[in-house]
Structure 1
Amino acid sequence: MTHTPSALLITPECDIVPVDLPSDSDARLTVMRSVIRCERVDVVGLTSQLDMWLDDEGLYNHPVNKVATALAVRFGFRWQDYYGPVLLTGGADADGETLPLTKDKVLALLASLGDL
């Protein structure tokens, strides 16, 4: 892998797509909404270094995302299914800004997602 994406998109069809998010927070949110295909995003902090972004109304607008649900279960989130495309990013910094995934985190996620 020569280029490290800043995020990974997991579709309900089980596709994993690298995504580059802009550094500007307003532009980043616009791109996130576009790739998740929603107007309002929600975030699940899977760990302090891994966030899963999804459609706040995904239950009503999208099918279950089995890979995202299995990933969330792996991190202890066992009480619900997750719907629609989800975007995996790094956690937030001290100012609440979303961090990009590191190369090591991308490689670990790709290996982990292959096991799901």
Structure 2
Amino acid sequence: MTTTKTLAQLAEEMDGTQPDAVLITEDSRMVDVNLPANPEHFAEYAAAVLRCDLVEHVKIAPGLHLWMDEEGLGERPRNAFITWFTQNHPDSSELIVHGPVLVTGHHGDQVAPLEGADYLHLALAYGPLSTA
């Protein structure tokens, strides 16, 4: 007998086991990353992870935020997965993304670990690409 679960049930079961954040590379690889212990130094951390000098912050949904190279347009290869993801997300504008992207959670004015539902949303969108 198979048990059917809703996305909300799956997200609740995984909450706390998902990575803090995810790096999506230009070639659409998804890499789990940890957030720094001190959120006050997040901009420097993000710049180091993204290999850039200036970091741009884009809110996709209340708990889903993107961090990318502000100078990446024209300098870095297009990030096809994140471009597709943002253009197909109901709370997002049409955005063309170049370079790697760091995906985090966000609470109030602080960077936070991804919540289970947000990670699941991203992973489900990514899933078909990972099997191609």
TM range (shorter): 0.7 to 0.9
Secondary structure of the residue aligned to 1:59 is: coil
Q: CA deviation at 1:106?
A: 1.7
Alignment of structure 1 residues 45-56 onto 2, 5 Å: 45-56=59-70
Alignment check: 8 A CA contact 1:66 1:82 kept: yes
Aligned twin of 2:116: 103
Aligned residues: percent identity?
32
* TM-score after normalising by structure 2: 0.76
Distance of 1:28 and 1:97 partners within structure 2: 9
Structure 2 counterpart of 1:15, from 2, 10, 29: 29
Q: Which runs of 5+ in 2 are unaligned?
A: 1-13
The amino acid across from 2:99 in the alignment is G
After the TM superposition, which residues 1-116 of structure 1 pair with which residues of structure 2 at under 5 Å, given as runs? 3-75=17-89, 76-78=92-94, 80-93=95-108, 96-115=109-128
Which 4+ stretches in 1 moved above 3 angstroms?
Answer: none
Give the alignment's Cα RMSD to 1 decimal. 1.9
TM-score normalized with structure 1 length: 0.85
Displacement, 1:8?
0.6
The answer to whether the Cα contact below 8 Å between 1:21 and 1:32 also exists between their aligned partners in 2 is no
How many aligned positions are there? 113
Q: Which runs of 5+ in 1 are unaligned?
A: none
Residue 63 of structure 2 contacts residue 115 of structure 2 at CA under 8 Å; is this kept in 1?
no
